[in-house]
């Protein structure tokens, strides 16, 4: 039998060590977020429905987004045992420069609507972490403002890098001028976007009456009542508008349809290539054939992307496409990937299967909505810790050691073979 005794006070005090209370409410809620999903929950609680749904939603039935996220969940890792990795190197060379981590921040439009610090918070956090930040043509901070935000940061592990995402518009001169401005500001890479000839049907936005600037209705006012902090920020900071475009009225779909041009072609790519002095990658590639054509056309790389599921619903899953594209284009061509990344393990799996780099969009915006600049820092911190932990558990010390053998893509959606055609005799 176990011998019983009265507890000793000294032993009790050892067991009852109280955690020092955190008086900063923002830091307290961000410290409690252990995953990107946790940040999403906080973001939803703190952000009006129209702005949150713009970030969280996708096109039509949102099948592309759901499938992209499911594809990352359907990963089986294969660790190497008895290969200690006490220290891991997460740094990488991408498009002629360094990144401290194998991911950067993807371009997002209307960013100050989600939280008023907007792109400045993203660019500052990226510079501090030593990763690239990508500004959207539809950004709400100017090209020059983003560059200034990055340069205000103390020197991070690597120099600050900014990239610019370009839509080719009906008025080509607007696109040309933006390209020249980004080059003059010191942005080193251009993302020439090809998957947005017209706006996708983003039904959440239609149902919410989402527009720029936001239109107040009884529903939006009722939804805003428990979120006074968002409205205080919105009403006491500079007017929300596109920093690079002069037309700002209308729904998101109307704005995109007015600005984008479904006739863009390789000729437009050639013109932009002549204007842009830095690296150029094509964003929105969705099949092997186009990947090969673009490599042969002399671009510096591609981004496998279905625009976060926000354009063509039921589009290919970039993560599933990745191994086929890598095999087709060879090892010396830059292949990046986005859409559906919500965990550092997703990034590790992508690198193992051939991605040179990855981009996060919604994950960054969830952090921004949850806590402004500190929330973006928390996003990067969460992903960094997940990447490092996954690498250690796989037994790899550097990204270069990751290989396809570390990952199996478990498959749910299997293409049905086309039936052989046969002549019908009448």
Residue 212: how many other CB atoms lie within 10 Å: 22
The answer to whether the beta carbons of residues 168 and 175 sit under 8 Å apart is: yes
CA 296 – CA 394 distance, rounded (Å): 35
- Integer angstrom CA distances of residue 328 from 135, 191, 292, 306: 30, 22, 7, 19
CA–CA–CA angle 100, 331, 402 (5° rounding): 50
Query: Of 78, 191, 307, 320, which residue is the catalytic one?
Result: 307
CA 339 – CA 70 distance, rounded (Å): 11
Q: What is the largest CA-CA distance in the chain?
A: 98
Residue 95, token pair as written in the block? 């498009």
Give the 3-state DSSP-derived string for 9-32, with helices as H, strands as E and coil as C: HHHHHHHCCCCCCCCCHHHHHHHC
Residue 177, token pair as written in the block? 């001028």
DSSP code, position 169: B
The answer to whether residue 307 is catalytic is: yes
The answer to whether the beta carbons of residues 55 and 46 sit under 8 Å apart is: no
CA 275 – CA 174 distance, rounded (Å): 13
Residue 362: how many other CB atoms lie within 10 Å: 26
Q: Which of the residues are catalytic?
A: 307
């Amino acid at each position: 039998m176990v011998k019983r005794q009265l507890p000793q006070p000294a032993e009790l005090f050892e067991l009852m060590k109280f955690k020092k209370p955190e008086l900063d409410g923002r830091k307290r809620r961000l410290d409690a977020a252990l995953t990107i999903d946790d940040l999403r929950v906080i973001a939803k609680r703190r952000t009006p429905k129209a702005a949150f749904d713009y970030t969280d939603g996708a096109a039509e039935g949102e099948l592309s987004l759901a499938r992209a996220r499911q594809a990352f969940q359907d990963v089986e890792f294969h660790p190497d045992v008895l290969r200690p990795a006490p220290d891991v190197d997460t740094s990488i060379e991408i498009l002629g420069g360094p990144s401290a981590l194998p991911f950067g921040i993807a371009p997002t439009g209307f960013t100050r609507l989600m939280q008023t610090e907007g792109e400045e918070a993203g660019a500052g956090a990226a510079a501090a972490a030593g990763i690239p930040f990508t500004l959207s043509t539809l950004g709400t901070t100017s090209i020059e403002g983003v560059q200034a935000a990055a340069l205000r940061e103390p020197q991070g592990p690597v120099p600050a890098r900014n990239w610019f995402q370009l839509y080719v518009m009906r008025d080509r001169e607007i696109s040309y001028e933006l390209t020249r401005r980004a080059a003059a500001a010191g942005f080193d890479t251009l993302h020439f976007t090809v998957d947005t000839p017209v706006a996708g049907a983003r039904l959440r936005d239609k149902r919410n009456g989402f527009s720029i600037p936001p239109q107040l209705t009884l529903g939006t006012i009722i939804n805003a009542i428990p979120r006074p902090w968002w409205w205080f920020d919105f009403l006491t900071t500079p007017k929300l508008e596109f920093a690079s475009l002069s037309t700002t009225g209308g729904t998101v779909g109307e704005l995109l349809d007015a600005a984008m041009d479904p006739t863009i072609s390789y000729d437009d790519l050639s013109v932009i290539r002549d204007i842009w002095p830095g690296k150029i990658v094509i964003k929105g590639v969705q099949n092997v054939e186009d990947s090969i054509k673009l490599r042969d056309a002399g671009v510096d790389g591609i981004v496998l992307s279905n625009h976060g599921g926000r354009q063509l619903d039921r589009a290919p899953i970039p993560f599933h496409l990745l191994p086929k594209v890598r095999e087709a284009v060879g090892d010396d061509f830059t292949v990046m990937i986005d859409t559906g990344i919500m965990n550092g393990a997703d990034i590790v799996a992508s690198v193992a299967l051939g991605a040179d780099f990855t981009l996060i969009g919604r994950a960054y915006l969830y952090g921004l909505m949850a806590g402004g600049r500190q929330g973006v820092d928390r996003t990067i911190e969460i992903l960094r810790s997940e990447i490092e932990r996954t690498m250690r558990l796989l037994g790899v010390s550097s990204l270069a050691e990751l290989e396809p053998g570390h990952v199996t893509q478990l498959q749910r959606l299997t293409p049905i073979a086309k039936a052989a055609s046969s002549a019908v005799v009448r």
